[in-house]
């Protein structure tokens, strides 16, 4: 779609999107990262609820895809929906961040962190404009979130009649990208804090704090992400829950996607079996 048309639509919607926000003397910016289906929305909800009267702008590029005037037609092809609506995600996100900075609004920006330069440049922009910047990152095993893409897609269809299926290439890039992104932010001391959480934000793992130009932890965030992923893969109850949810998805999802879900489920079952064999050997 033509850029000027998208900007026109943004200008029509901006008032509602910025409603009830008030300028802050000491504004806060949160950068939320993790691969698709890792639990970012849950973590965002928990954090933003701490602000009185929801006085924080939550920016999630995926939300703005729905402003595409041909959305109803596009959602019938979930595999191309993301590509066709990307311009809405970009235009709305960029303009909302700009307006937040101009007005000193508290803000949370959600992304995947697949490209390290994006969160780095975002953090730098906020710092240069007087913000305190904190990162909220989710450590999730790739196979958990790969299945989660299909679970979420089918649950959206069940709930609202249509769903958005994230591209697997984007997912895989984010799995590795978050490691590089967090390490870049750490090395460049580009943010004030880095908080790390487990899959679906079920557990707080660690917080890196920058005080007087020095981090409280002398180790890279990527090591914590990697270790936490491995630990989560060893938890039988986590895998069992995912398999149960995935089996439910498999029974409902369209035929052209069944093989994808089935393959992931088999990998999880094999992983579960290996864990059982290890436990049996230790006994």
Reported in sequence order, the residue ranges of the chain that DSSP labels E, i.e. its strands, are: 28-33, 57-60, 107-111, 132-139, 193-198, 204-211, 214-215
Residue carrying the six token digits 């557990």? 203
Give dist(CA 64, CA 158) in Å, integer.
21
pLDDT at 152 over 80: yes
Task: Read off the pLDDT of residues 3-31 as tens digits, 9 standing for 90 and up.
Answer: 999 999 999 999 999 999 999 999 999 99
Q: Which CATH superfamily is domain 3-233 in?
A: P-loop containing nucleotide triphosphate hydrolases (3.40.50.300)
Average per-residue pLDDT for the chain: 94
Domain ranges of the chain: 3-233, 236-283
**Residue 81: per-residue pLDDT:** 83
How far, in Å, CA of 157 to CA of 139, rounded? 27
- The pLDDT of residue 275: 76
Q: What residues contact residue 35 under an 8 Å CB cut-off, 6+ apart? A: 112, 114, 138, 140, 142, 145, 171, 174, 175, 178
Q: Residues near 223 by Cβ (< 8 Å), separated by ≥ 6?
A: none
Distance, C-alpha 19 to centroid of its chain: 24
pTM for the full predicted model: 0.92
Tokens of 190: 């580009």
pLDDT in tens, 82-129: 888 999 999 999 999 999 999 999 999 999 999 999 999 999 999 999
Percent of all residues in the chain with a pLDDT value above 70, rounded to a whole number: 98
pLDDT digits (tens, 9 = 90+) for 184-226: 999 999 999 999 999 999 999 999 999 999 999 999 999 999 9
Average pLDDT of the segment spanning 161-178: 91
């Amino acid at each position: 779609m033509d850029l000027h048309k998208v900007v026109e639509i943004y200008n029509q919607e901006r008032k509602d999107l910025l409603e009830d926000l008030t300028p802050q003397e000491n504004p806060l910016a949160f950068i939320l990262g993790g691969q698709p289906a890792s639990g970012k929305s849950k973590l965002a909800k928990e954090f933003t609820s701490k602000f009185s009267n929801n006085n924080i702008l939550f920016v999630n590029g995926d939300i703005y895809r729905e402003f595409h005037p041909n959305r109803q037609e596009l959602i019938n092809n979930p595999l191309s929906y993301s590509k066709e609506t990307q311009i809405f995600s970009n235009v709305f996100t960029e303009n909302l961040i700009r307006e937040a900075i101009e007005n000193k609004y508290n803000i949370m920006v959600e992304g995947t962190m697949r490209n390290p330069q994006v969160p780095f440049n975002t953090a730098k922009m906020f710092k240069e404009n007087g913000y305190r910047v904190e990162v909220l990152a989710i450590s999730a095993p790739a196979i958990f979130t790969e299945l989660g893409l299909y679970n979420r897609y089918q649950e959206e269809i069940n709930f609202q009649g249509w769903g958005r299926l994230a591209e697997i290439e984007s997912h895989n890039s984010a799995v590795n990208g978050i490691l590089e992104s967090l390490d870049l932010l750490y090395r460049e001391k580009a943010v004030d804090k880095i908080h790390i959480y487990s899959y679906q934000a079920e557990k707080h793992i660690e917080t890196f704090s920058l005080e007087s130009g020095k981090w409280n932890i002398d180790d890279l965030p990527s090591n914590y992400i990697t270790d936490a992923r491995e630990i989560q893969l060893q938890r039988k109850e986590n895998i069992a829950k995912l398999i149960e949810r995935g089996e439910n998805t498999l029974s409902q999802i369209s035929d052209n996607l069944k093989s994808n879900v089935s393959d992931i489920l088999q990998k999880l079952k094999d992983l579960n079996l290996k864990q059982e064999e290890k436990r049996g050997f230790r006994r």
